[in-house]
Structure formats: C-alpha cells, structure tokens
Structure 1
Amino acid sequence: MDTTIKVTVIGAGLMGHGIGQVFARAGHTVVLSDPNPAVLDRALAQIRQNLADEGDEPGPVLGRITTDVSPTRAAVHADLVIEAVPERLALKQQLFEDVARAAPDHAILASNTSVIPITDIGARLSERARGRLLGTHWWNPPHLVPLVEVVRTAYTRVEVFEQMYLWLVAVGKRPVKVQRDVTGFIGNRLQHAMWREAIGLIEDGICDAEAIDTVVKNSFGLRGPVLGPMENADLVGLELTRDVHRVMFPALKTNAEPSPLLDQLIAQGHVGMKAGQGLRSWTTESADQLRLELDRHLRRMARS
C-alpha cells in the first residue's frame, strides 16, 4: 500500500526549505513554492548542503522536490499544504483563502506560525476549510530540531488533527498535541516566560547578560535533554515544588509589556549580533563561532 503523500510548502526561506527536506527525505513528493525564483534556487542549494553535511546523498531527496512560483498552482494536487511565509496575519489569511480554493477538498492546511493564533489565521475561511486548518509549529532548523507543535483550533476536525500528528511521527519528528489554540502555543510561552525574567534580572542590576547565559548553560540547561520541568517537579516532590513557589512567585516578573531595557538598547542601535551589540557584545568571529557550535550540537543530537 502506497503511504506517500504530496506535500506543498509555501515559503521556501528560513523554515520552508527545511520542512520540505524532511518530507522529501522520508520519501514524499514535495513542491516548494515561493514568489521569488532566487529564493527557490537558494532553497535547493541549502537542502543539498544540509544533506551533504549530514552524510546523505542529495540526489534522491532533491529528485522528489520540484518548485513553483505560484502557491495556488503548487497546491492543486496536494494532500498537505504547509505555509511558512512571514509572520504577517493579513498575508497568511489571504494565502489560505487562495490555497483553500485551489487545493483538493481532502488536503490538510497547516500554518507554521510561531505565535499567531491559528483561529485568527483561518478567520476568513469557510467552515469546511477551517475544519482542515491547523497549526504545525516547527522549530529552526526544522530538519534538525525534532519538535513540531500540532495546534488544534475549535474548528479543526479530529481526524485532521490525528492524521497530521501521525504524518509527523512517520517522518521522524517528535510532535506534541496542543489541544487549545493559544498565543505562542507551548514552547514559545515557556521560552519567553524565561526571557522575561532573564531580561528583568539584567534590568534590575542583579547580573549581566553573560551571567544569565552561563547559569542556564551550566545548570538546568544541562539536564534539559533528559529531564523536563514536570519530571523535575515530580523528582524533587510536589511538596517542595509548592514551598519554593510560595516564596519565589511573588518576586517574579509579571509585566505584560516588553522590558524598557529592550527599547533603550534598540534606540541606541544595539539590536543584536548583526549590529555587534545587543544584550551582549559580538564580533563577526564570535557570532560565527556560536552559530557553528549550535549547528554541530544540533547535528550531534539528531544523530543520537
């Protein structure tokens, strides 16, 4: 029985090409779509490089990938359409309106947004189309990071939700089911809650940015791959967890707006690595070294 599917990925830039690579590597046919032909050319070159870096022969995978500048034409024969365009709500809404009309009625429609509620993205769709729309939040780089958050809205049909989950398992990912459509889903809510507290510690003069990174990388960050926070709570016991929270929670940051420290740094032109200064100072060499170390680490983790 043929279990391969036809996948269309719309947006071939930062995330899209890696998502397409995952499905093509698993034996599925993929159409990468982007309105910019140069982006499509770079996407194929990047997939070739990714596969070579991982010790795989690029030919068979690239042989299952075609490109098209038209998203609607690319979706005509799709079983699955994944949107990976920039994080602009109006752009995504219009795209899904167009694609829902072009794709077959059975095709699952998925958005790779990292924070925009899927319900908002599908607000202009018919009820039937909204029933086959869900979120699939991949993490960058998608061909190396195993997690995909599968996000169900109040309109998403159960069979669509379950099928998407099974397809992701089959291509080697570690999907989780997000049963309610909330801003930021799971991973980004957890990540940015920590970032809020970290930036607040710097803002209040408790420590500098280097200290934050040193603490995370040399304490609980080391345990992360084998000990999640809920496992850790059970490990130390819920009585101790509750007692610690009673003392600590009143002191934690709860501000609903971004830290003024970010506004100050941005106003000074200190916007991050690309400017040589953000919360930390960067040279071209130190920024490149960090990217290289991250890439090596993710590849080691993927192999293991």
Structure 2
Amino acid sequence: MQRNLNVVVIGAGLMGHGIAQVFAAAGHHATITDTNNDILQAAPRHITHNLEQMGVEHASVLNNIRLEGSLENAVSDADLVIEAAPERIELKQQLFLAVSKAAPSTAILASNTSVIPITEIGQLLDEQARNRLVGTHWWNPPHLVPLVEVVKTEFTSDAVFDVTFDILASVGKCPVKVYKDVPGFIGNRLQHALWREAISLVYRGVCDAETIDTVVKQSFGMRLPVLGPMENADLVGLELARNVHRIIFPDLDCTKEPSPLLEDLLAKGHLGMRSGKGLREWTPEGADEVKRLLALHLIAAIDS
C-alpha cells in the first residue's frame, strides 16, 4: 500500500489481538477496542508472547498498537474496520450499525465471522454502508495462518472487494476471493464436512476419536500442504474419483443436524480441552502442549 493505514479491530480476544498484530507488524496503525477492559488490557501481553515465540522483536510492533475503550473514538479516523466479536448475529449487526455512523464514509467495513453470511450481518445498514461491507475470514491463530477468505456480497462494491484483497496481500497474508456469500464460505465448509464424517464414524463405533486423528495426521493430512483435493483428484484421475464416489457416497453421513454424540457430550459438561474432556480426554498440560506444538509447526511452515 502507498501509505500507512488506520486499522481498527473490534474485539481483543482470541482472534482480534492477532489480527491487530499482523497490521502493526506491517507498519500500519492498529487500534484495538473491546467492551471488556480486562480483555482489552491483556492484548499487548498476548501479542508480546506471540512475537517472542516467533523470535520477532516486539517493541516496534507494540508501538503501532493503541488500545481504546470507546468504539466511536476508535473508528473515528479508520480506513479499515475489522469486527472480531463473538459469533452472535445480533451483536454483529448492532456493531456495524454503530460503526457505520461513527467511522468515515470511506472506511472499509469487514467482518471476521467464520460462518455467518455477510449479507445477514449487514441487514441494518444503509446502501452506502453495505457497499463497503465485506467478509474477511481469518484463521486461528491469525498471525500464523496465511489464509484470509475475502467474501463479496451482492451489495459489496468491486472496488472494496479488490482493495481489501490487496491490503491483505500487502501485509503478508494469502487472501482468496469468495464470490458468493454462502454460510461457512470455503474453508469451514470443507473442514466441517470432514468433521461430520469423523464424528459419525466414532458415533457408529467404527473407531475411537484418537484413531480419527491418527489416520488424518499419518495419511492424507501429510500431503495437504503440497497437494490440495482438486490436485489430488486430477492426480489419481477423475474416472477413479467417480468410481470411488459411487461406492462410498451412499454410506457417508449426510444428516442436516449436529451429531447426537455432540449433544450427549455437551449435556454431560464435556466441552473440549477447557473442561478436560470432549471427544478426547485432556489434562491442562496436554492441552497446552498441543497448542505449543501447533504454534511451532506453523512458525516453521511460514519460515520455510
């Protein structure tokens, strides 16, 4: 980009501080705002930890980050506003309504929702604001995972769509263009299709949850960084792909509701790592080790 941008991130939690870190590390002015002051004040500490883990000097990055408790003050001179609030559509709708009134009329409005259609998020906005609303779905952890899905609605202007893509590319991300605003966009639709079948196999007693993870990590998961599913289909040949589909598609899980296994686990208070049990059992140390290994793996991947 030709100049440093004023980027505002709404939400300092799981995703927000990492998104702000990316822009600050690229030399832009990043403002983080959050209604929870404790979460807001903790953001610099989390960013410092991220940078130390990456072996990056943190002072210059932190100098580009500002904390602001007032949403209106935060967005008053914004060029780009990225919402990273919890996945509640009413909350996001009200946030963008407030931002559209307080931010400059030229500011790009972006939502980091992972599954909610951007069109629904913008329902309360006037036409001019809807023209500036675009989806930017980052992946966790956002400072390490390259992909950002840029989602266009029927209202999003071509200029906003293209400029948002260019901004993300300029800060080192790998943006992709999503031309239709469908729930879950691309990545989560693919990921959760896999999850649905994986959970179904456990529910049907075909194998346990640990075996699912072993199979993925020790087989096709190893190929995915260099061989995507479309490349793989072409590699083995589309005739073979069609013949395999004829055999297994009729037996794949295609239910429209979450698995009864998830409902049963949740009813028992088994929420995942944070509760010590989900589909698998976790100690605090085991959960922390998985997170550490993931971060180191991603750092090595982007450094290679």
Aligning the two structures, in what range does the TM-score lie when normalised by the shorter sequence? over 0.9
| Residue matched to 2:204 | 204
SS in 2 for 1:222: helix
1:276 paired residue number: 276
Q: Describe the superposition over 1:154-195 as per-residue Cα deviations: whole angstroms up to 9, x where unpaired.
A: 100000000000000000000111100000010110000001
How many residues are treated as equivalent by the alignment?
304
List aligned pairs for 1:23-42, cutoff 5 A: 23-42=23-42
Question: Which residue of the partner structure matches residue 169 of structure 2?
Answer: 169
Return 294-303 or 180-189, whichever deviates more.
Answer: 294-303
Q: CA deviation at 1:275?
A: 2.2
Q: 1: CA distance between counterparts of 2:234 and 2:3?
A: 40
2:176 match: secondary structure: strand
- 2:92 pairs with 1:92: yes
Per-residue deviation, 1:73: 1.2
Q: How far apart in 2 are the matches of 1:283 and 1:67?
A: 34
Q: What is the CA–CA distance in structure 1 between the aligned matches of 2:174 and 2:2, rounded to whole Å? A: 23
| TM-score normalised per structure 2 | 0.98
Matches within 5 A, 1:176-215: 176-215=176-215
Q: How far 1:285 moved relative to its partner?
A: 2.3
In the TM superposition, what is the alpha-carbon distance from 1:37 to its structure 2 partner? Answer: 2.3
Distance, in Å, in 1 between the alignment partners of 2:5 and 2:283 is: 45
**Alignment partners' CA distance in 1, 2:73 and 2:255:** 46
Q: Residue 67 of structure 1: SS of its match in structure 2?
A: strand
Partner of 1:14: 14
Structure 1 gaps, min length 5: none
| Cα shift at 1:270 | 2.1
Q: CA RMSD in A?
A: 1.1
Aligned counterparts of 1:184 and 1:9: Cα–Cα separation in 2: 21
Q: Where does residue 298 of structure 1 map in the other structure?
A: 298
Cα–Cα, structure 1 residues 142 and 296, in superposed 2: closer, same or farther, change >3 Å? Answer: same
Amino acid at match of 1:297: H
> Which 10-residue stretch deviates more, 247-256 or 284-293?
284-293
Q: Which runs of 5+ in 2 are unaligned?
A: none
Q: Which residue of 2 aligns with 1:139?
A: 139
SS for the counterpart of 1:242 is: helix
Structure 1 runs of 4+ aligned residues shifted over 4 Å read none
Q: CA deviation at 1:65?
A: 1.1
Query: Which letter does structure 2 place at the counterpart of 1:225?
Result: P
Query: Is the partner of 1:155 in helix, strand or coil?
Result: coil
CA distance in structure 2 between the aligned counterparts of 1:279 and 1:36, rounded to whole angstroms: 31
